[in-house]
Structure 1
Amino acid sequence: MPLLWLILIVLAIAAAGYVLGRSRALASAGGDIRQLHSLPSYYGSNAALKAVVPALLLLVLWLIAQPLYINSVISGTLPDELISEGSSRGLLMAEVSRTAQGLDLAVSQGVIDEGVASDPAADFNAMTDRLKQAGAIVTSQITQPVLNAAQRYRSMSHTGTAIMSIAVIIIAVLGAFYGIRQSSAQFRARNVVEQGVRVLLVAAASIAVLTTVGIVLSLVFNTIEFFRLYPASEFFFGLSWAPSFSGRGGSSELGVLPLLWGTIYISIVALIVAVPVGLFAAIYLSEYAGSKVRAVAKPLLEVLAGIPTIVYGLFALLTVGPLLVSIFGDGGVLGVSWQGGGRAVITAGLVMGIMLIPFVSSLSDDIINAVPQAMRDGSYGLGATKSETIKQVVLPAALPGIVGAILLAASRAIGETMIVVLGAGAAARLSLNPFEAMTTVTAKIVSQLTGDSDFASPEALVAFALGMTLFVLTLGLNVFALYIVRKYREQYD
């Protein structure tokens, strides 16, 4: 049964429980609402909650546990002889999983019958030909044992899903029935429902934390899997990035230093553009501009934040890049030959800086406006001019917030992808020349996870190691920002 249908059935059971629970409560009071402890809607909500919450909780837990159990069972049936040099059991299970997905796709398209897809004795060559005919994603190293394991994997998945559907529906029905049985005039339905809603609110508030934990764990586990296949020393200290999609990474050079340097270099160029312009714009809007000018200028400035990054990337590729080449390239107006092509660090940095201006200006403007007017008045009372007040009173008082705005812009720059792909190129190199093409960690994460590469190969798993490296980098940046903010805030509280 499709997951959407199952959820709709549970919701329908909950709706029926709401109606029946409310009606039973009214009937127990002889139709007189005054005889009820709670409003009739609370009795219906009690039955609905008891139908929905346990059923959906079981659904979520089952969806998490089933793949783990099936992987464990199928993995135990695979002989060690199938694991080639440079591979692992996890990589082999990834091949089995993709082959099972290919079987599902072929069955849905009618290329393979359901009975044939589940038959271990089916002709191997005919099966693989039909899988290719269906356009199913099947690894080039598929063998008869892998195909048989994929058939068992698919059979167990379908059986588990059917059992899950039945169990979820039964739990929903039993929960609704129990809630309906509780619907009597003396039952404190309001207390139970409010307590249940409180628990749901706490659970909703915990989703962000659990999501963060899940992201970190997925990065950690896949990073560990990558380092089982590729030396960590070569990854962290290698000076060359040259992935090869043959031989399972045996000939690949996956040094992260060129990518980190490109990420930091382009971010620095972007901040050199965004910080002065954004900060000066914030000072003007908050201290000098009149109300009419501010009402028009600030929304226009913030429009830059709403432009999709792909548009900025096209702007870098089609406009800024050729413009810089016409100035700094061969035959340019300056008569120099510094920039050989439109894709370069300075191209991506300039455009990314323009994109970051509203992040810096808007946040800095809000922080500057939050500085108490009494501090300005005290400075004026001591004879300071407006510019002196801004330099010596307002900006130092707003410094923690301004630092936070700059670091937010830095985090945004580090995580940018499309502008880098279209404006900076794809060359991984260690160079100080801003007119050369470079690339970043995020751009390589995208390139490593696209295409026809084996997802369980080192060339694909390296994306998780890159993501983990970027996560640690931004975490360190945020910790440093927190230290700076606290240090300066103590002087002005």
Structure 2
Amino acid sequence: MAHAASARPAAGTPGGSLRRQRPRYGEAIIKGVLLAAALVSVATTVGIVISLLPPTLRFFERVGVWEFLTGTEWSALFDPPSYGVLPLVGATLLITVIAIAVAVPLGLAAAIYLSEYAHPRTRKVFKPVLEVLAGIPTVVYGFFALAAITPLLQDHWPWGEGPEVFNALSAGLVMGVMIIPTVASLSEDAMTAVPQSLRQGAYALGSTRRIVAIRVVLPAALSGIVAAVVLAISRAVGETMIVAIASGNRANLTWDPLQGMQTMTGYIAQAGEGDLPIGSFDYTTIFAVGGLLFLLTFIMNAVSIRLVRRFREVYE
């Protein structure tokens, strides 16, 4: 024992220190690059807020906030103008609900299959193929909704008259297909991160694969699944080309998905085509709608962070 103690390096000597004596310049560079990336993200958000604020404040100098938020007619570019944003907000929420109703069940089903049922070689093939959907340009989705989905719904609609040429239903259905990879890929990553010991313990108690997937893996990965769904909602709310092509450019306050309507992003795309003089009051309406869209997205992200923290599971 004395010999072993005498062989131990003394404290303060190079052999007894756990810290490298030579500086690690590579790690310092990587740390600086990561810090710069974080600062770029923060600076981008601050820049968006700064660019939105002045025109939005000029808009509210002439239009009251209450009139803007509770008005039921939006005809900002017509005479006489109306500045009630509820038709745009209602259309955005309706199409988003349709899209989420499509994407969440299909995306979670795909994630459960890839995580719990698929062979590893099958997973390596299916997951990249699924994510290809996220790389298709949204203008292609919009044209597909207008040229294929809408005629299909019109020809096979079983209850009375079918949808109009421009309608919220086809836009929502195709948007749901577009965001399936977001839900499926992130949810599958969360499920794969669940420790195998939880699955093995459930199997040891006699559980079937279905019970393990639904009652063990899903609750354990709930925080990641919530984050995936909220990210999909944010993407659906901010989608432009699908709604601009398939749902129409008529502000219409209705909950009937068979009718045409205009979303917030659809109005921004229509008004921002270049016909409005820069600096005019009509031009400020783009920033007012964009500011409200930014605020809604910010609130959804804040709520998602609270939900993720509430349902997060930490494993040792």
In the superposition, the TM-score normalised over structure 2's length comes to: 0.86
Change over 3 Å in CA distance of 1:358–1:420 after alignment to 2: same
> The residue matched to 1:253 in structure 2 has which SS?
coil
Match of 2:219 in 1: 396
Which whole-Å CA distance do the structure 1 matches of 2:293 and 2:214 have between them?
Answer: 35
Give yes or no for the alignment of 1:208 onto 2:35. Answer: no
Q: Deviations over 1:184-236 (max 9, x none)?
A: xxxxxxxxxxx999989856653332221111011112110111132322211
The percentage of counterpart residues that share the same residue type is 47
Match of 1:467 in 2: 290
Conserved in 2, the CA contact under 8 Å of 1:272 and 1:353? Answer: yes
Displacement of 1:451: 3.6
Give yes or no for the alignment of 1:458 onto 2:287. Answer: no
Match of 2:66 in 1: 233
Conserved in 2, the CA contact under 8 Å of 1:371 and 1:397? Answer: yes
Give yes or no for the alignment of 1:351 onto 2:181. Answer: no
Which of 307, 310, 313 lines up with 1:484 in the alignment? 307
Change over 3 Å in CA distance of 1:338–1:452 after alignment to 2: same
Change over 3 Å in CA distance of 1:201–1:352 after alignment to 2: closer
Which of 158, 162, 185 lines up with 1:362 in the alignment? 185
Give yes or no for the alignment of 1:285 onto 2:114. Answer: yes
Which whole-Å CA distance do the structure 1 matches of 2:193 and 2:69 have between them?
Answer: 43
Conserved in 2, the CA contact under 8 Å of 1:348 and 1:420? Answer: yes
Conserved in 2, the CA contact under 8 Å of 1:229 and 1:458? Answer: no
Which whole-Å CA distance do the structure 1 matches of 2:86 and 2:254 have between them?
Answer: 11
Displacement of 1:282: 0.7
Which whole-Å CA distance do the structure 1 matches of 2:209 and 2:31 have between them?
Answer: 52
**Partner letter of residue 260 of structure 2?**
A
1:80-99 alignment, distance < 5 Å: none
**Partner letter of residue 346 of structure 1?**
L
**Partner letter of residue 327 of structure 1?**
H
Tell me how large the CA RMSD over aligned residues is.
2.4
Give yes or no for the alignment of 1:304 onto 2:133. Answer: yes
Conserved in 2, the CA contact under 8 Å of 1:397 and 1:492? Answer: no
Which whole-Å CA distance do the structure 2 matches of 1:254 and 1:435 have between them?
Answer: 24
Give yes or no for the alignment of 1:381 onto 2:214. Answer: no
Match of 1:442 in 2: 265
Q: Deviations over 1:455-486 (max 9, x none)?
A: 22222101111111011111111111111111
1:130-279 alignment, distance < 5 Å: 205-244=38-77, 251-279=80-108
Displacement of 1:345: 0.9
Conserved in 1, the CA contact under 8 Å of 2:203 and 2:212? Answer: yes
Displacement of 1:427: 1.8
Which whole-Å CA distance do the structure 1 matches of 2:203 and 2:264 have between them?
Answer: 49
**Partner letter of residue 243 of structure 1?**
A
Which whole-Å CA distance do the structure 1 matches of 2:285 and 2:246 have between them?
Answer: 24
Which whole-Å CA distance do the structure 2 matches of 1:412 and 1:243 have between them?
Answer: 26
Displacement of 1:406: 0.5
Q: Could you list the runs of 5+ residues in structure 1 that have no partner in the other structure? A: 1-194, 329-333
In the superposition, the TM-score normalised over structure 1's length comes to: 0.56
Match of 1:430 in 2: 253
**Partner letter of residue 336 of structure 1?**
G
Match of 1:336 in 2: 160
Change over 3 Å in CA distance of 1:478–1:202 after alignment to 2: closer
**Partner letter of residue 350 of structure 1?**
L
Conserved in 2, the CA contact under 8 Å of 1:245 and 1:459? Answer: no
Change over 3 Å in CA distance of 1:492–1:261 after alignment to 2: farther
Which whole-Å CA distance do the structure 1 matches of 2:219 and 2:111 have between them?
Answer: 15
Match of 2:8 in 1: none
Conserved in 1, the CA contact under 8 Å of 2:146 and 2:166? Answer: yes
Conserved in 1, the CA contact under 8 Å of 2:76 and 2:285? Answer: no
Task: Please list every run of at least 4 consecutive aligned residues from structure 1 whose deviation after the TM superposition is greater than 4 angstroms.
Answer: 195-205, 490-493
Which whole-Å CA distance do the structure 1 matches of 2:35 and 2:103 have between them?
Answer: 39
Which whole-Å CA distance do the structure 1 matches of 2:34 and 2:314 have between them?
Answer: 38
Displacement of 1:417: 0.5
Change over 3 Å in CA distance of 1:241–1:358 after alignment to 2: same
Conserved in 2, the CA contact under 8 Å of 1:237 and 1:255? Answer: yes
Change over 3 Å in CA distance of 1:322–1:199 after alignment to 2: closer
Q: Identify the structure with bigger relative contact order (alpha carbons < 8 Å, sequence gap 6+).
A: 2
Displacement of 1:431: 1.2
Which whole-Å CA distance do the structure 2 matches of 1:351 and 1:434 have between them?
Answer: 13
Change over 3 Å in CA distance of 1:368–1:466 after alignment to 2: same
Conserved in 2, the CA contact under 8 Å of 1:310 and 1:418? Answer: yes
Change over 3 Å in CA distance of 1:440–1:290 after alignment to 2: same
> The residue matched to 2:221 in structure 1 has which SS?
helix
* Between 263-272 and 424-433, the greater mean CA deviation after superposition: 424-433
Conserved in 1, the CA contact under 8 Å of 2:138 and 2:241? Answer: yes
The number of equivalent residue pairs is 291
**Partner letter of residue 440 of structure 1?**
T
* Between 206-215 and 282-291, the greater mean CA deviation after superposition: 206-215
Decide which structure has the larger Cα Rg and report it: 1
Conserved in 1, the CA contact under 8 Å of 2:134 and 2:182? Answer: yes
Conserved in 2, the CA contact under 8 Å of 1:225 and 1:461? Answer: yes
**Partner letter of residue 99 of structure 2?**
A
